[in-house]
């Protein structure tokens, strides 16, 4: 019995594969490095959603219309978001989507995730939500709706690259949650909400905001080695490091570092991040000798989303809107090929004592 199900194969998939020893991520037969930065979010989603949508162009048009519908659904809910964090607000908005099988459901839910992330970000920051523009690409429109101003070509390309980089990643905790819910025939919107609930934890998709908190702490202290050593001595985990499957550097970290380097004016911040990364890796080697811990996707996610002027409270919602593409592909695969997921537990409690 492994309490974290480490190395347990719980599904067969044609969608993605994580090779933790080689530091390789394959999505639908392509290495991540050959997909991210080469394909738009619509291209990559259409590839992942083979059999669900006809073409990237159809998906782009349908997503545009669906974003407008999602905004209309969410508009009356703005007052209900008071007092919630951004990711809690996104959860509330997505929970308002009724379950009901219809052809456009995958596209509607993917569009809704983008609008919900932007709407939740704006409203929880005290700003008015922005109406979608159905003619834009998903990346361009979501970036515009989050920030309130349109990105230039470089920024939209960088954001698109981010969305593709994190869209799918084997049977991670949130995807597993989605597949468990889908296996009960509970319908796609419910399975996506379950996945979001699993993603929001700091051990999974909640890490990039805290990565920037670490940057701030180190900047203030002025000494990365001392700050990191103190954190480890207190028993804290360094956010943006370690992974259940990767025993080497997460390949997504390299893709995102290259992406942020293409944005103008980032050289100093990248040099600062590299110094922190090097100090953290040195310290983790010394403190955690029995376990190889390396940089994961969240470290350079934080740097990239910061460079795009996305508020840190929105980092997890932005991750979620991208991963919704992968969740939906897994939900459909589970619904088509899978069975009810119902493992067993081993009872270690006391047994009733019966009189003889």
CA–chain centroid gap for 226, Å, is 31
Residue number, 74 or 241, with CB nearest to ligand ACO: 241
| C-alpha–C-alpha distance, residues 291 and 8, integer Å | 19
Q: Is there binding between residue 294 and ligand ACO (CB under 6 A)?
A: no
Do the Cβ atoms of 177 and 274 come closer than 8 Å?
A: no
Question: How many residues lie near ligand ACO (CB under 6 A)?
Answer: 19
Do the Cβ atoms of 323 and 208 come closer than 8 Å?
A: no
Residue number, 107 or 165, with CB nearest to ligand ACO: 165
Active site residue 243: yes
Which tokens hold the place of 82? 């008071």
Q: Is there binding between residue 32 and ligand ACO (CB under 6 A)?
A: no
| C-alpha–C-alpha distance, residues 210 and 227, integer Å | 15
From the list 10-18, 23-31, 142-150, 234-242, the region that binds ligand ACO by CB under 6 A is 234-242
Q: Is there binding between residue 297 and ligand ACO (CB under 6 A)?
A: yes
| C-alpha–C-alpha distance, residues 71 and 63, integer Å | 12
| C-alpha–C-alpha distance, residues 250 and 155, integer Å | 23
Residue number, 13 or 80, with CB nearest to ligand ACO: 13
Residues in the chain: 356
Q: Is there binding between residue 218 and ligand ACO (CB under 6 A)?
A: no
Q: Which residues contact 240 (CB under 8 A, 6 or more apart)?
A: 207, 208, 211, 214, 280, 295, 296, 298, 299, 302
Rounded to 10 deg, the angle between the 138-147 and 153-165 helix axes is 110
The radius of gyration of the chain's CA atoms, rounded to the nearest angstrom, is 21
Q: Is there binding between residue 124 and ligand ACO (CB under 6 A)?
A: no
The residue with tokens 């996610």 is 301
From the list 19-27, 261-269, 295-303, 335-343, the region that binds ligand ACO by CB under 6 A is 295-303
Q: By CB neighbour count within 10 A (0-12 exposed, 13-18 middle, 19+ buried), where does 269 fall?
A: middle
Residue number, 272 or 287, with CB nearest to ligand ACO: 287
Give the Å distances, CA to CA, from 247 to 122, 171, 250, 251: 38, 17, 8, 11
| C-alpha–C-alpha distance, residues 47 and 67, integer Å | 21
Nearest-approach distance from CB 349 to ligand ACO, in angstroms: 25
Residue number, 210 or 338, with CB nearest to ligand ACO: 210
Q: Is there binding between residue 293 and ligand ACO (CB under 6 A)?
A: yes
Q: Is there binding between residue 282 and ligand ACO (CB under 6 A)?
A: no
Considering only residues 188-217, where is the footprint of ligand ACO by CB under 6 A?
A: 203-205, 207
In the DSSP assignment, the letter for residue 238 is P
Among 71, 119, 241, 300, binds ligand ACO (CB under 6 A): 241
Residue number, 207 or 322, with CB nearest to ligand ACO: 207
Among 15, 48, 239, 314, binds ligand ACO (CB under 6 A): 239
Residue number, 293 or 328, with CB nearest to ligand ACO: 293
Q: Is there binding between residue 288 and ligand ACO (CB under 6 A)?
A: yes
Active site residue 290: no
Identify the active-site residue in 138, 169, 243, 330.
Answer: 243
The residue with tokens 């940057």 is 215
Nearest partner of 28 among 197, 214, 169, judged by Cα: 169
From the list 85-93, 105-113, 135-143, 237-245, the region that binds ligand ACO by CB under 6 A is 237-245
Nearest partner of 202 among 233, 236, 227, judged by Cα: 236
Q: Is there binding between residue 8 and ligand ACO (CB under 6 A)?
A: no
From the list 45-53, 141-149, 238-246, 308-316, the region that binds ligand ACO by CB under 6 A is 238-246
Q: Is there binding between residue 267 and ligand ACO (CB under 6 A)?
A: no
Enumerate the active-site residues. Answer: 243, 298
Residues near ligand ACO (CB under 6 A): 4, 203-205, 207, 237-244, 288, 291, 293, 296-298
């Amino acid at each position: 019995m492994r309490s974290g199900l480490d190395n347990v194969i719980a599904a067969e998939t044609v969608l993605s594969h994580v090779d933790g020893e080689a530091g390789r991520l394959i999505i639908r037969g392509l290495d991540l490095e050959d997909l991210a930065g080469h394909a738009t979010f619509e291209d990559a989603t259409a590839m992942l959603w083979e059999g669900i949508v006809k073409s990237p162009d159809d998906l782009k048009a349908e997503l545009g219309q669906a974003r407008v519908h999602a905004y209309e659904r969410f508009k009356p809910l703005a007052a209900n978001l008071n007092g919630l964090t951004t990711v809690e607000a996104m959860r509330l908005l997505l929970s308002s989507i009724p379950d009901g099988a219809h052809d456009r459901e995958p596209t509607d839910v993917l569009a809704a995730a983008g609008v919900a992330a932007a709407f939740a970000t704006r409203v929880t920051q005290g700003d008015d939500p922005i109406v979608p523009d159905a003619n834009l690409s998903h990346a361009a429109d979501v970036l515009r709706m989050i920030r309130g101003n349109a990105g230039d070509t470089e920024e939209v390309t960088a954001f698109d690259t981010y969305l593709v980089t994190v869209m799918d990643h084997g049977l991670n905790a949130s995807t597993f949650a989605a597949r468990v819910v889908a296996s009960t025939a509970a319908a796609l919107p419910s399975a996506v909400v379950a996945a979001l609930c699993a993603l929001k934890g700091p051990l999974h998709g909640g890490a990039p905001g805290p990565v920037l908190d670490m940057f701030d702490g180190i900047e203030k202290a002025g000494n990365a080695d001392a700050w990191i050593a103190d954190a480890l001595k207190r028993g804290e985990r360094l956010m943006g490091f370690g992974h259940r499957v990767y025993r080497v550097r997460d390949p997504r970290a390299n893709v995102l570092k290259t992406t942020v380097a293409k944005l103008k004016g980032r050289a100093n911040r990248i040099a600062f991040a590299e110094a922190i990364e090097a100090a953290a890796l040195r310290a983790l080697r010394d403190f955690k000798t029995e376990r190889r811990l390396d940089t994961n996707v969240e470290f350079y996610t934080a740097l990239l989303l910061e460079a795009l002027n996305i508020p840190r409270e929105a980092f997890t919602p932005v991750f979620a809107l991208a991963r919704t593409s992968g969740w939906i592909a897994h939900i459909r695969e589970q619904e088509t090929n899978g069975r009810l997921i119902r493992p067993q537990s081993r009872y270690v409690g006391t047994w009733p004592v019966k009189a003889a």
